[in-house]
A and B are shown apart, each in its own frame.
Chain A
Amino acid sequence: MYARSLGGKTRVLGAGGAANKRLRGVGFMLGQSVARIGVVASLAMATAMAVVLAAPAQAKTLKWASQGDLNSADQYMRNQTLSLSIMSHVYEGLIRRDPKTLAIEPALAERWEIAEPTRWRFYLRKGVKFHDGRPFTADDVVFSAQRALGKGSDLKGRLPANVVVKKVDDYTVDFITEKPNPILHYEWTTWGIYSKGWAIDNKATEVADPSKGDAPNAATTQANGTGPFKLVSREADVKTVFAVNNDWWGKDKYKHNVTEVIFRPITSAPTRVAALLSGEIDFMEPVPVQDIDRINKNKGTKVVTAPETRIVFFGFDHEHKELLHSSVKGKNPFKDVRVRQAFLQAIDIEAIKTKVMRNLALPSAMMVAKGFEGWDVAFKRLPHNPEAAKKLLADAGYPNGFEVQLDCPNDRYVNDEAICQAVVGMLQRAGVKINLVTKTNTVLFGEYQKFETSFYMLGWAPGSYDSWNPLEFLHRSVPVDKDGKSKPGGTFNYGRYGNPKVDALIDQIGQETDKKKRDQLLHDAWKTTIDDVAYIPLHQQMIAWGSRDSIAKLEPHAGNELLWYHVMMK
């Protein structure tokens, strides 16, 4: 039995770089007998050689960089696009989406049906193996649902409230929901399935979030999924290496020729540009808006731009009786809609678009991108008007403004820090003094989750391409008990906006199957939240992907995910 599973393992090792290290680990785990280790080693070498002989295809390494690091090798730790999309190559969901059409395709589930309005049945793919050789079965799906809803997980929103996940047989799973849910599986692309056996053996059944003081566990730095790539090694903030999984079930369907992927975070924009120009990396994102011309003019490099589904916005603390970081004592100025509207009207979004974003942004009146279900051209942004802003502040009782801290990531969105600095000036002219605090997103987003921010920047790109997601996660009121167990929702509503009317509409939208009625409900919900100035949407940023001609083909993706199994290298 273990000879077979070892065969599987050593083959990866032959392809990957850390062969010796891993081998020693395997030998050690297996036991004390030196002879046994010897056998294992020679077996390993034989298999490795066999693979090398059998596979004439050359090694193709895809080296790429982004401005920040993935938050953890544990896909459930942070609901953040970069981390989710990189780890989705290791941990596959029951479904996946085509990068071009965004249509839902089967992945680990071969097919599914709505048996009853509240019961979905998923038929799982047979013969799929995890990277360590364990077979994939219904138990793993049930376990992954528990893990995603369990302690430390940031993916609680992937499953509806009080869902019951039931194993019917080894390859059939039922999802029983309280209420009908027509979009149950919309975001399962980034809910990867973990191996139950592996998680138990490695004591990684719960999600550890080191940014909140948890001790890291095996899943923080290692991974064992079913996907097209295996995690070889991870050094936080330095590099993460992946090797192709030659046993992947989907290799005939998705043609690519990448055998190894090296991902590095390069925070400094000019360094990232230089790395691309010099050929040190094959791909990078985001390209700084000011350098697009330079990269396009350079021989052998080019930039692809397209609107991204992400909306970048500012959020307020609607909840605390007194803001945690402000000069106003005894009350919370953001509870007054006039103050929120004043902030909105103080921001000159056109200046940000032309000067900071160099026209590579689409200013938005809504918290969803153009083209989403629920997006409506009828919603217009309130005009930039510093005088009106001053008057609103005076009416609200702050004729001399006040002081508040703005939290802003400096390595997550295109020109995030520059946008925040510009906004500091704009608000200053309306009388509000902003203390700007900028941090790396890996730290800052952990603070957001503790509801410790008064005024903050965030971006949101729903994996579902539908309005329900931003309504549910950013606009639903947060249940009173802090862990959110009794009633999920409002998970990323870091400022705890709440309006019972909106909550009721969100409930209805979640169940409505009639398109016309649903559209009306969406319109009502957006109207209410926009009138409330729940958030200040800024713009839809553009994806700007820079690549070298070492890449023959890649698929731009509106969700800004680089899918390696669609990449052809020269």
Chain B
Amino acid sequence: MSLLARALDSDIWHSFRSSKTTILAAAVTAALVVAALLAPWISPQNPWDPGALQLIDAFNPPAWAPEGSWRFVLGTDDQGRDLLSAIFYGLRVSLTVGFLAVLFAMIVGIALGMFAGYAGGATETVIMRLADVQLTFPTILIALMIDGVTRALLPGEAHDRLAVLVLVFSIGVSNWVHYARTVRASTLVEKRKEYVQAARVIGLHPVIIMVRHVLPNVMGPVLVIATVGLAVAILTEATLSFLGVGVPGTQPSLGTLIRIGNNFLFSGEWWIVIFPGIALAMLVLAVNLLGDWLRDALNPKLR
């Protein structure tokens, strides 16, 4: 049986096909990811090039409003930035930061969690108590602290250049705990099973046992956390940018656009905040729905 046929025959594919919500969520996510990937080619304007912006175009309403023009379908912001283009580019930042932050948190979390679970004893206590301590701080606070420290350490220019990496690091560091706790719990269960005992008996190195034998069997829950975590990471990035500590203002992400729009909420230029807000909500909701579905599909008790 070919790989594709096997995949099409699996329980997961079956549960996917039978849920309309999930299909819709996947379609929305895919569309937004494609829009982000193709942003430089499908955007009417490069919103990150200050030279391309004309201040005179600022505050144009959406095309269908009385004074709107089809040049700017969703209108423009206070600098004359086309909102549709800015949203495409903003999605890029959101998804890049989201994916990288999740990847970072996942690698750190899995490594520490598995190590703690497998090694046990003092190592486990130190790592897991550290995780407990970190859990008592809200995610956003830790992210803000890390961003603040790097801002103080790096000169302004360098900080702007590294802004995305700083975001990835600060969001990733504040999220590793969830992975570590789950992986440790699964590892504790797995390491008592016969196949691990057998691997130990034939004298395999613990690292090989962990990577080759334990890891594949603890990945299920990790994938679920990662999907939900992606939505959380995207939201955290938007929050940080909304607070003005994320990416530089000349390269707005969705959160930055919402922050700019927020200034004009009282004065009637509603489109600056509404459209980026809808894009962000759509993305987060779709990813969350996918995560929910994945959790149910991978849960043996629900089969």
Contacts and interface: CB of A to CB of B under 8 A. Distances in A.
Interface stretch (B54-62, B165-173, B220-228): B54-62
Nearest to A417: B249
Given A355-B56, A422-B79, A270 B266 contact: yes
Interface stretch (A9-17, A155-163, A289-297): A289-297
Interface string A247-291: 000000000000000000000111001100000000000001011
Contact of A437 (B50, B52, B58, B160): B160
A352 B263 contact: no
A interface bracket (residues with beta carbon within 8 Å of B): 20 to 34
A405 B155 CA distance: 11
Nearest to B261: A270
A436 B267 contact: no
Interface in A300-340: 325
Interface residues of B, number: 28
Contacts of A437: 156-157, 160
B59 A355 contact: yes
B154 to A, nearest CB: 11
B219 to A, nearest CB: 42
Contacts of A270: 262-263, 265-266
Interface stretch (A32-40, A427-435, A467-475, A504-512): A427-435
Contact of A356 (B51, B55, B248, B264): B55
A290 B263 contact: yes
A351 B56 CA distance: 6
Interface string B137-158: 0000000000000000001110
A268 B80 CA distance: 21
Nearest to B263: A269
Given A425-B55, A425-B79, A434 B50 contact: yes
Contact of A418 (B79, B157, B262, B265): B79
A425 B51 contact: yes
Interface in B235-268: 244, 248-250, 262-267
Contacts of A426: 55
A438 interface: yes
Given A294-B267, A436-B248, A356 B78 contact: yes
B109 to A, nearest CB: 34
A355 B250 contact: no
A434 B160 CA distance: 12
Given A355-B55, A405-B156, A428-B51, A421 B267 contact: no
A424 interface: yes
A291 B263 CA distance: 9
Given A270-B262, A355-B55, A355-B58, A293 B267 contact: yes
Interface of B: 49-56, 58-59, 78-80, 155-157, 160, 244, 248-250, 262-267, 269
Interface of A: 268-270, 273-274, 288, 290-291, 293-294, 325, 348, 351-352, 355-356, 405, 407, 410, 417-418, 421-422, 424-426, 428-429, 434-439
18 contacts: A269-B263, A270-B262, A273-B266, A291-B266, A294-B267, A351-B56, A352-B55, A355-B58, A355-B78, A356-B58, A405-B156, A425-B80, A428-B51, A435-B156, A435-B160, A436-B250, A437-B156, A439-B156
